[in-house]
Structure 1
Amino acid sequence: MNDLLAWLAGLPDPLLYGAILVAAFAENVFPPLPADTVIALGAFVAARGNGTMLGVWAATMVGNVGGAMLMYALGHRFGLPWLIRRFPSIVTEQAAGEFSRQFQRQGMVAVVISRFLPGVRALVPPMAGALGIGAGRSAIAMSLASGVWYGVVCLLAFRAGASADQLLAAITRQQRTLGLVALGIVVVAVAFVFWRRQRGHRRS
């Protein structure tokens, strides 16, 4: 981490913003990439130089939404069989069917919430494309989720003290909190749908 922090600190502001943009873009294409760490450290460096929170957030949004829409286009072009081959341990036919049902029921809301779930967020753009959710609606939904997620990251970075370690610990807590909130919403939604079905069966 210290090497990455030193490298980012040595970049002039335009290249620092560029590095943040590339990391945010690559997160959608190569999910194991620790983009949140790069973006948080980049924001940390920008805050202690001549960078601005708006500049960091804008670079992150352009990269993240751009990468997400690239994966959306690939999912739309190649469909679910391609996704199952690309992510065989995650995208099974059963999982794809569940995604499809959630997206059909909740539309944009499902896309927004899913982008907050660790381990799932990278699958949302290509899955939305494969399931035929409109590009405009998907872009809006993913922009909303990314805007909140990285808005909090930038805010924490610009308000952090002198310790990058404390910043990364705060980012981890933020990820856990937002993920749990999103998971809670999913559980409540599923329980509500199940309750309505059971109620309908009893009436019939």
Structure 2
Amino acid sequence: MLSALTLASAAEPELGGLAGKLVDLMESLGGPGAGFAIFAENLFPPLPSELFLPLAGFTASQGKMGIAEALLWTTAGSVVGALVLYFLGALIGRDRLRRIIAKIPLMKVSDYDKTEAWFAKHGTKAVFFGRVLPIFRSLISVPAGVVRMPLLTFTLLTALGSAIWNSVLVMAGYGLGNQWHRVEQYAGIMEKVVIVGVGLAIVLFVVVRVSRLRKDNSRRGSHAR
């Protein structure tokens, strides 16, 4: 009988590197392997949950684990990974982060203060909805730790948001069978949109900040004369 990984490979070229090893681990261990893959994806955002989650659903469809097991383990992996980043943010702390930002070119401590004020007002929504956004679903845990969002609130919001996102992709992989990799293609569109949006925001920030610095320097030069 063909294994899930063999069937998957017939539809999609086998992965190499760390992603490939995590896929092999998922195939070998079932639910715990899927949980560890998603845990690793939280800590290393370049690893694709859009690949691991549909494959977990496909593996469940082949009887390697139950669908409930796949959902529970992947959500547990998301929560544990998020907690690691939360405690990293708590370890860095507000004061240390402000000192770091003060040394970054074009950045101001006031930028952090505004961000923290925004997070204090909208942090619960950011943690919950951030779980469905590539890159942000990992990074959002760090500021939550920095501002010391109540741990229970953070854990519950993370578990709920992750359960929804994981369920969509796991169930899609389960339903598509050996065509599970199509999910990654469509989910990847959202990832590209987010990455382009972040890139444009960074470019706009740099352009605006450099323009302001030039105007300030010009004013100082005029006053000096």
User: Between the two proteins, what is the percent identity of the paired residues?
Assistant: 25
Q: How many angstroms apart in 2 are the aligned matches of 1:21 and 1:129?
A: 22
* 123 and 10 in structure 1: CA distance in 2 versus 1, 3 angstrom threshold: closer
Which segments of 5 or more consecutive residues in structure 1 lack a partner in the other structure? 180-204
2:13 match: 2
Aligned residues: 174
2:33 is the counterpart of 1:33: no
* 9 and 73 in structure 1: CA distance in 2 versus 1, 3 angstrom threshold: closer
1:67 match: 81
Which segments of 5 or more consecutive residues in structure 2 lack a partner in the other structure? 1-11, 195-225
- Name the amino acid aligned to 1:156: A
Q: How many angstroms apart in 1 are the aligned matches of 2:160 and 2:26?
A: 32
2:153 is the counterpart of 1:142: no
Counterpart contact for 2:45–2:138, Cα < 8 Å: yes
* 161 and 62 in structure 1: CA distance in 2 versus 1, 3 angstrom threshold: closer
1:54 match: 68
Structure having the higher Rg = 2
Q: How many angstroms apart in 1 are the aligned matches of 2:54 and 2:145?
A: 29
Offset at residue 38 of structure 1 (A): 1.9
* 74 and 62 in structure 1: CA distance in 2 versus 1, 3 angstrom threshold: same
2:148 is the counterpart of 1:132: yes
* 97 and 82 in structure 1: CA distance in 2 versus 1, 3 angstrom threshold: closer
* 114 and 94 in structure 1: CA distance in 2 versus 1, 3 angstrom threshold: farther
Offset at residue 71 of structure 1 (A): 1.1
Q: Which of the numbers 42, 56, 75 marks the counterpart of 2:56?
A: 42
SS at match of 2:27: coil
TM-score (norm 2): 0.64
* 47 and 138 in structure 1: CA distance in 2 versus 1, 3 angstrom threshold: same
Counterpart contact for 2:32–2:73, Cα < 8 Å: yes
Higher relative contact order (CA 8 A, sep 6+): 2
Task: Write out per-residue CA displacement over residues 160-188 of structure 1, whole angstroms, 9 at most, x where no aligned residue.
Answer: 14323323234436x56xx7xxxxxxxxx
